[in-house]
């Protein structure tokens, strides 16, 4: 048996899949049976761009690769079903790294309730991962970025600022606050909350990956609205405060302009319909811009891979 | 506008999509409306592993990335619907390369009748491409590798040996026969033939990517059968003969053990039901192994990324 097929065999030996998986790995393609429209999204994770091996265990990278993709399926208000995972790595990479990466993939799949149904392996000069996540709208309409209207409220579910605070700590060579660092290495996606928001009547929704303000900007652009974030409604987590104090930064900056949060932001007709556990953080207006307490935000606004 | 969003805008400006695309690029995920089960498959193309920039134009790489993936959807007997394309590239790569790559992606999408509905961009130390293709079974059952039975015939649709002959030429620094080289750079997938085979009653089917014998071996393993390839039924294309003569190789080796053909191989109950344009190349038996004219093949059997 060749090295490639041996590795595939090792990865796929003990896979369990959901009821909607008619055919899993081992054929030219997987087959899924959905009751509604199909949702599909893809994301790359590149070594030294999206993760560093000295910071992240292989398991954490595997978990993150699945999490950030499934988060986009959640953001459509769909039920995440499955992922396919493509991995390219140097020939001299420790095989144990690959095995642990795949363990992380499977672990996050279990947490997210999705099935690993396919993938690809290749050699490469550096590690490159591409995950595609598929979801089932189950008869629901998709919640796009385009449905928000002036007069509505904006609410968030998930951890804001934790990932950016964790990254700041790692960049300075430290490993704590541990909860902030852990959140950067593997975001804790609010699984299941996309459907909760949809069923509560969310008018628009998206995954916060570029930072709250930057992503609300995308929502405003598509919806033709403005949003004012009320900072008195935001929570500054203790870990964020500590990182901000240690680095002389504004803690608010982490929360509203961080990045890689993979929380969900959604708009709702009014506060009464916002689901339990979601935090109202602002209101929708017709200004066409994102403001913070009524003013433009002067700090950094988000993440650009080519800046 | 940031460099990343500018590039995305340029790529997505003039996209046309099929009737089954409810929501295309620009949101967290695309939404597709299928009448049957969903088929999904993913493949990596890594620079200097799957293509070399000195051999392939950016346009050819873009076309190949789509073609090799859609081929896997065809091999399930499904209607290819859509692709998502993730591209990682060095920051100093000529932006014209990226634009031409995306032109190639769109060109092959048009040829294959699929919609480009999403993607991702990232920086990286070398070019890495990941395409995921999605198809709709439209109420058909999937044609897996597992349904072949002794007594059936094996047939092929597409070009065998052309790609391997083209690669051999390129490796020696030449550029002709041009049809062989072109086939290596962008395989001409027999689009639409997966459904034709399914409707004709194909019992098993797969995409020939590792070489005819190697892939028939995969089919035999899954179906619990053997296959004998009858070389008198094979066509040795003129270009393959010329490359074989020039390099002192057995022309048959290119045809039955080449690789990256992206032709389709399928089994049918008998010769009478084999669709027009398909070439019968052998018979299914209960030997459990792939043979050539009744004997084991002594040459190389296929491609291994980690060999």
Beta pairing, strands A226-229 & A290-292: parallel
CA distance A187 to A165: 12
CA distance B70 to A285: 44
Angstroms from A188 CA to nearest CA on chain B: 18
> Nearest to residue A251, comparing CAs of A154, A168, A170, A158?
A168
Section B115-143 average pLDDT: 96
Q: Which CATH number is A3-136's, of 3.40.920.10, 3.30.1330.10, 3.40.309.10, 3.20.10.10?
A: 3.30.1330.10
Q: In sequence order, what are the beta bridge partners of B32?
A: A38, B21
- The residues spanned by each domain of chain B are 3-136, 153-292
The percentage of chain B sitting over the pLDDT mark of 90, rounded to a whole number, equals 87
Cα three-residue angle A63-A176-A253, rounded to 5 degrees: 85
Contacts of A246 (CB under 8 A, 6+ apart): none
B27 contacts A144? CB cut-off 8 A: yes
DSSP state of A191: T
Q: Confidence class of residue A300 from pLDDT cuts 50, 70 and 90?
A: low
Higher-confidence residue of B149 and A247: namely B149
Question: What's the token pair of residue B251?
Answer: 């022309």
Q: Which residues of B are annotated as a binding site for substrate?
A: 50, 260, 303
Averaged confidence pLDDT in chain B: 93
Interface ipTM: 0.92
pLDDT at B7: 73
Peptide bond into A177 cis (omega under 30): yes
pLDDT over 60 at A306, yes or no: no
Chain A residues in contact with B5 (beta carbon < 8 A): 304
Cα three-residue angle A102-B72-B165, rounded to 5 degrees: 105
Q: Confidence class of residue A303 from pLDDT cuts 50, 70 and 90?
A: very low
A84 contacts B40? CB cut-off 8 A: yes
Chain B residues in contact with A145 (beta carbon < 8 A): 26-28
pLDDT digits (tens, 9 = 90+) for B38-92: 999 999 999 999 999 999 999 999 999 999 999 999 999 999 999 999 999 999 9
CB atoms within 10 A of CB A270: 11
Closest chain A residue by Cα to residue B265: A28
pLDDT at A13: 76
A119 contacts B42? CB cut-off 8 A: yes
Of the candidate ranges A5-14, A175-184, A292-301, the one whose mean pLDDT is the lowest: A5-14
pLDDT over 70 at A301, yes or no: no
In the three-class reduction of DSSP (H, G, I as helix; E, B as strand; rest coil), residue A107 is classed as helix
Secondary structure string (H, E, C) spanning A7-35: HHHHHHCCCCCCCCEEECECECCEEECCC
Going B88 to B94 to B96 to B100, the CA torsion angle's sign is: negative
pLDDT digits (tens, 9 = 90+) for A39-76: 999 999 999 999 999 999 999 999 999 999 999 999 99
Section B161-165 average pLDDT: 93
Residue owning tokens 């080519």: A306
pLDDT over 80 at A4, yes or no: no
pLDDT digits (tens, 9 = 90+) for B246-274: 999 999 999 999 988 999 999 999 999 99
From the list A7, A40, A119, the residue facing B117 with the nearest CB is A40
CA distance B156 to B230: 12
Of the candidate ranges A18-27, A148-157, A187-196, the one whose mean pLDDT is the lowest: A18-27
pLDDT at B301: 52
Of the candidate ranges A68-82, A161-175, A292-306, the one whose mean pLDDT is the lowest: A292-306
CA distance B76 to A210: 37
pLDDT over 70 at B138, yes or no: yes
Section B138-151 average pLDDT: 98
Closest chain B residue by Cα to residue A4: B306
Residue owning tokens 């081929």: B71
A29 contacts B130? CB cut-off 8 A: no
Angstroms from A10 CA to nearest CA on chain B: 15
Q: In sequence order, what are the beta bridge partners of B263?
A: B208
Sheet holding B30-32, edge to edge: A115-123, A79-89, A128-136, A38-46, B30-32, B21-23
Q: In sequence order, what are the beta bridge partners of B155?
A: B266, B280
pLDDT digits (tens, 9 = 90+) for A183-227: 999 999 999 999 999 999 999 999 999 999 999 999 999 999 999
Which among B129, B130, B145 is the top mutation candidate for probing chain A, defined by the most A β-carbons within 10 Å of its own β-carbon? Answer: B130
Closest chain B residue by Cα to residue A47: B124
CA distance B302 to A200: 54
Higher-confidence residue of B149 and A171: namely B149
B124 contacts A306? CB cut-off 8 A: no
Q: Does A164 touch chain B (CB under 8 A)?
A: no
Q: CATH homologous superfamily of domain B153-292?
A: PurM-like C-terminal domain (3.90.650.10)
Q: Which residues of B are annotated as a binding site for Mg(2+)?
A: 28, 41-43, 72, 120, 207, 210
Section A7-34 average pLDDT: 88
CA distance B217 to A84: 24
pLDDT at A305: 41
Angstroms from A141 CA to nearest CA on chain B: 10
Angstroms from A147 CA to nearest CA on chain B: 12
Averaged confidence pLDDT in chain A: 93
Closest chain B residue by Cα to residue A22: B37
CA distance A87 to B66: 18
pLDDT over 90 at A304, yes or no: no
pLDDT over 60 at B306, yes or no: no
Chain B residues in contact with A20 (beta carbon < 8 A): none
> Nearest to residue B23, comparing CAs of A137, A153, A232, A47?
A137
Where are the strands (E) in chain A, listed by range?
21-23, 30-32, 38-46, 79-89, 115-123, 128-136, 153-157, 204-208, 226-229, 263-268, 279-285, 290-292
B4 contacts A28? CB cut-off 8 A: no
Residues 171-190 of B with CB under 8 A from A: none
The percentage of chain A sitting over the pLDDT mark of 90, rounded to a whole number, equals 87
């Amino acid at each position: 048996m060749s090295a490639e097929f041996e590795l595939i065999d090792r990865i796929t030996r003990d896979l369990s899949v959901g009821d909607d998986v008619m055919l899993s790995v081992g054929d030219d393609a997987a087959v899924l049976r959905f009751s509604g429209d199909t949702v599909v999204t893809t994301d790359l994770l590149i070594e030294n761009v999206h993760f560093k091996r000295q910071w992240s265990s292989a398991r954490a990278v595997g978990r993150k690769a699945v999490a950030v993709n499934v988060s986009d399926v959640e953001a459509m208000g769909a039920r995440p079903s499955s992922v396919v995972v493509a991995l390219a790595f140097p020939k001299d990479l420790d095989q144990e790294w690959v095995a642990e990466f795949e363990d992380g993939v499977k672990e996050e799949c279990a947490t997210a309730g999705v099935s690993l149904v396919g993938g690809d392996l290749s050699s490469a000069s550096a590690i490159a991962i591409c995950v595609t996540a598929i979801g089932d709208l189950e008869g629901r309409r998709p919640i796009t970025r385009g449905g928000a209207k002036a007069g509505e409220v904006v609410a968030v579910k998930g951890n804001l600022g934790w990932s950016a605070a964790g990254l700041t700590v790692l960049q300075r060579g430290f490993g704590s606050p541990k909860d902030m660092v852990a959140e950067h290495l593997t975001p804790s996606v609010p699984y299941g909350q996309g459907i909760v928001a949809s069923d509560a009547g969310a008018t628009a929704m998206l995954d916060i990956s570029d930072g709250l303000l930057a992503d609300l900007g995308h929502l405003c652009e598509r919806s033709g609205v403005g949003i004012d974030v009320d900072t008195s409604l935001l929570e500054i987590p203790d870990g964020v405060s500590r990182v901000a104090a240690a680095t002389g930064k504004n803690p608010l900056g982490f929360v509203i302009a961080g990045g890689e949060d993979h929380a969900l932001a959604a708009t709702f007709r009014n506060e009464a319909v916002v689901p339990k556990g979601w935090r109202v953080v602002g209101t929708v207006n017709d200004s066409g811009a994102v403001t913070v307490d009524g003013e433009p935000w002067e700090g950094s606004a988000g993440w650009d891979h080519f800046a």
